Every structure is written in structure tokens, then in C-alpha cells.
Amino acid sequence: MEALVIRGGSPLYGTVEINGAKNAALPILAATVLHGGVYLLQNCPDITDVAMAAEIIEALGGRVRRAGKTLTVDTREVSAWTVPAELMARMRASVLFLGPLLGRFGRAVLTAPGGCPLGKRPIDLHLDAVTQMGAVVTLQEGEILCEASALHGCTMDLLFPSVGATENAMLAATACRGTVVIRNAAREPEISDLAGFLCAMGAEICGAGTGTVTVTGGRPLGDAVYRVLPDRIETATYLCAVAGCGGSITLTHTDGSLLLPVLEVLSNAGCRVEQQGDCLKLQAQLPLRASGSIETAPYPGFPTDAQALMMAALLRAEGSTRFSETIFERRFSHVEQLRRFGAEIETAGPTALVRGVRWLHPAEAAGSDLRAAAAVLLAALQAPGISRIYGIKHLHRGYDNLEGGLRSLGAEIAREYDWKFPA
């Protein structure tokens, strides 16, 4: 198994440019299937989840080409409405093709989506949303068949502000006859970015980023050029890395206003955080102060995707921090791995209590999902000595060259096969 070797224990200093957001790029890529056209997506991160979305578009008959951070997506020849089971199984976001395929062809065939193992991740809200627009959903032999001779307008109340269900509802609604009002919609910035792209295609959408999104369907759609918004979770990852190790960082091409609860915890912990234009700066002097309690919540609350990262940053903070995970039922897989470095963490159901320790020691550990893998890496960077991290394929799913970015800050990270640190 491929491993990263890390010699930790040093502060980090430098500047990193933030990439486009994975969670915005994925629904935008799905949206290109709604209408046969040519789309230029700038600032599209080079990560395996994006490559998988591109594979789905190609399996449906489209073409995707990358030049640097720009993807050209040609969906004029898309003619299939079945997402192959093998591609569905590879990531959760494959379910986002449901709305566009149903909108374009009046039918979509999918199977259960895969993705990070974070407990139960049903798609009932997605199916319910399209059913309310007139689709008939049939489950047969593991396949989910959705059909609608014509989608119609409606007002729907999501039982939970699910990010993916809000996106699927917006995608299908763009092609319906009538107006769809989505209440209790997710308010994440990536929802606004999807709406921005759909409007660039010609759609009419109001209220994205608020709890009520209104889509006036049936507008003529066409080619679009769009720049994906900065990745707030990649931003949080670098901030937490420097907060945990000490040092200072300037992140360019990013927007701290998209992650205010994360910045608040870091400020309360003693870090100096400052946004100047599109640069976000953080200075951290150790030891940090623990943070009392952190509860994950839908946007604008503390993001569940930053829970493991912040936990890694606060392992050596003075005092205790209680983390409560309210979005996913099994999102503490990193805890056991962080304990390998000497972290003191007790879990009870959806909470984890971190008691700050003075030292972490090097360890061998593995991340079993994207953010867990990043959290383990952040712990290794703090531990003086040589650590080995496994499960790095998860990092590549969501981070565009995280190793390179951290190395540019002075971190000593190498692939095990070419491991050679200076004495």
C-alpha cells in the first residue's frame, strides 16, 4: 500500500494558492449534462472525484478535456441516461446526475451511490424531490429508474437541508415546465455556485444561498464559461495545519467569509486571522487554547467537513474541546488513528472529547475517508520524528496537490518509495 512518510515537529511558513472547490465542481459538471453544449469550467481542481465525474460524462457520450485548471466539457453528443453501476459505486456525487438526466431525457437509471464511509447516506430526499416534480421512481434489482414525461412546477419542503438533494432538485427544476420552490434548502456556498453556473447557462434561479430557492424552469439553455469558487475546506485544511504546527501562512485566491465558524474557533484558540482582498492570513503561536465546544451544523454552521481537521489542530491545545457531530452518524473514524500519535480523545455516541496533550509522538496511521486522511496527516506534521500515513488515495479524491502545498510551507513529506529527507 502506498504511504506518505512525514518528518514532523516543525512550524510551517509560506504562501499557498487555493484551488477551486470540489463540492462546487462536482454538481457543476453534472449540470453540463442538462443541455447539449460546450462548457468551459475554470479553476477546476485536478482531483480524482472530478476525474470520476468526467468519466461519467464520457460514459454518457460526452467529452471532457483538461488544460491546466480549465476543463472543456462537450455534452452535445450525450445520448445515454444510464450511469454505469461501476461509476455510481465510486463516489457519492454520482447521484447528482439524476436531476440533469431526468431533465434532459425524461428518464435516468442509476444504482446506489458509493463514497466515503460516513454511516448511513440514503438518497430518499433526492428521490422525493424529483417525485414531487412528477417523476415516477421504480426500484428494481438494484437499479433506480426515474421517469417523467414532463416535470412540473411545485413547492417542496425538504425534511433536512441536504446539500445534494437541494442540488438535484435545482438541476431537475431547471428543465421543468413551471416554477419549483424548494423550501428548507441547503444554504452552502456551493449551492450558490451551482446556481451561478446554471444562470450562466440561461436558467432563472432566485434565492440560492438562502433557505428558499425558486427555479423558473424551461428557460432556453446554452454554452457557458464559468469559474468555480474557492475551496473553503481546502482553505480550512491549510489553516488547521499551520494552527497545529505553529507558524504563519498566506492563502491566496480564497475567501474567509465562506468559513467564518472555522475562523472563529481558530481566533479563540489564539491564532491571528486576517482577510486582505482575496488573501487569508493566519499566524499561530503554540500552545493554542482549547475551544470549549464545537458542533457541526448545516451552513452557516461549523462544517462537518472541517470537524476532523479542527480536531487534529487542537490535539495539543491547552484544555479540552468537545466535538459534536450532527450531520453524519459515523464521522469519527479519525479518532482511533489520532490516538496512535498520543492524542487523548474519548468518544461517546456523536461526541468526542479532546483533552490537549503536551506532545504527540510519531506513528503509523491510516485515514479511511477524505477528511480523516487529511486529519491524520495534520497530526503527523505535529509529531517530532518519522510517521507513516496510509490511505492516501482518499487525499487525492479531494485535494489537488496537498503534499506539494504543505512541502512549500517547509513540511517534510515524501512518498515512501522515494523517501530521502536531508539529515
- Interaction of residue 162 with ligand UD1, rule CB under 6 A: yes
Stretch that binds ligand UD1, among 139-147, 148-156, 160-168, 198-206 (CB under 6 A): 160-168
Q: Tell me, yes or no, if 44 is annotated catalytic.
A: no
37 vs 189, beta carbon nearer ligand UD1: 189
165 vs 282, beta carbon nearer ligand UD1: 165
* Phi-psi region at 345: left, alpha or beta (left = phi > 0; alpha = psi -120 to 50): beta
In the beta sheet, which residues pair with residue 226? 41
d(CA 320, CA 314): 9
- Interaction of residue 117 with ligand UD1, rule CB under 6 A: no
**Per-position DSSP letters for 115-148, written without gaps between them:** ----S----HHHHHHHHHTT-EEEEETTEEEEE-
d(CA 382, CA 398): 22
- Residues found in the chain: 423
39 vs 328, beta carbon nearer ligand UD1: 328
Nearest distance, CB of residue 245 and ligand UD1, angstroms: 25
Cβ atoms of 42 and 227 within 8 Å: the answer is yes
Per CB under 6 A, the list member of 47, 71, 125, 383 interacting with ligand UD1 is 125
d(CA 252, CA 281): 9
**Per-position DSSP letters for 167-202, written without gaps between them:** HHHHHHHHTSEEEEEEET----HHHHHHHHHHHHHT
Per CB under 6 A, the list member of 138, 155, 160, 292 interacting with ligand UD1 is 160
Q: Which residue's C-beta sits nearest to ligand UD1?
A: 164
Closest C-alpha to 148, from 137, 133, 135? 135
Which member of 44, 116, 154, 271 is catalytic?
116
Distances (CA, A) of 389 to 42, 174, 323: 32, 44, 24
Q: With the CA atoms of 123, 99, 86 and 72 taken in that order, what torsion angle do they form, in degrees rounded to the nearest 10?
A: -140
Cβ atoms of 296 and 326 within 8 Å: the answer is yes
In the beta sheet, which residues pair with residue 364? 388
- Interaction of residue 305 with ligand UD1, rule CB under 6 A: yes
- Interaction of residue 93 with ligand UD1, rule CB under 6 A: yes
What SS3 state is found at 362? coil
- Interaction of residue 121 with ligand UD1, rule CB under 6 A: yes
- Interaction of residue 327 with ligand UD1, rule CB under 6 A: yes
Per CB under 6 A, the list member of 83, 109, 156, 163 interacting with ligand UD1 is 163
Q: How far is CA 114 from the centre of its chain?
A: 15
Stretch that binds ligand UD1, among 74-82, 161-169, 307-315, 339-347 (CB under 6 A): 161-169
126 vs 340, beta carbon nearer ligand UD1: 126
- Interaction of residue 333 with ligand UD1, rule CB under 6 A: no
Q: Cell 433557505 belongs to which residue?
A: 211
Nearest distance, CB of residue 306 and ligand UD1, angstroms: 10
Nearest distance, CB of residue 99 and ligand UD1, angstroms: 13
- The grid coordinates of residue 317 equal 491545545
327 vs 354, beta carbon nearer ligand UD1: 327
- Interaction of residue 235 with ligand UD1, rule CB under 6 A: no
Q: Cell 523517501 belongs to which residue?
A: 419
314 vs 327, beta carbon nearer ligand UD1: 327
What SS3 state is found at 78? coil
Nearest distance, CB of residue 21 and ligand UD1, angstroms: 9
Nearest distance, CB of residue 56 and ligand UD1, angstroms: 13
Per CB under 6 A, the list member of 19, 23, 237, 321 interacting with ligand UD1 is 23
d(CA 404, CA 14): 12
- The grid coordinates of residue 419 equal 523517501
Binders in 341-400 for ligand UD1, by CB under 6 A: none
Stretch that binds ligand UD1, among 32-40, 63-71, 157-165, 270-278 (CB under 6 A): 157-165
- Interaction of residue 340 with ligand UD1, rule CB under 6 A: no
Query: By the criterion CB under 6 A, which residues form the site for ligand UD1?
Result: 23, 26, 92-93, 120-126, 160, 162-165, 186, 190, 304-305, 327-328
Could you give the residue numbers annotated as active site?
116
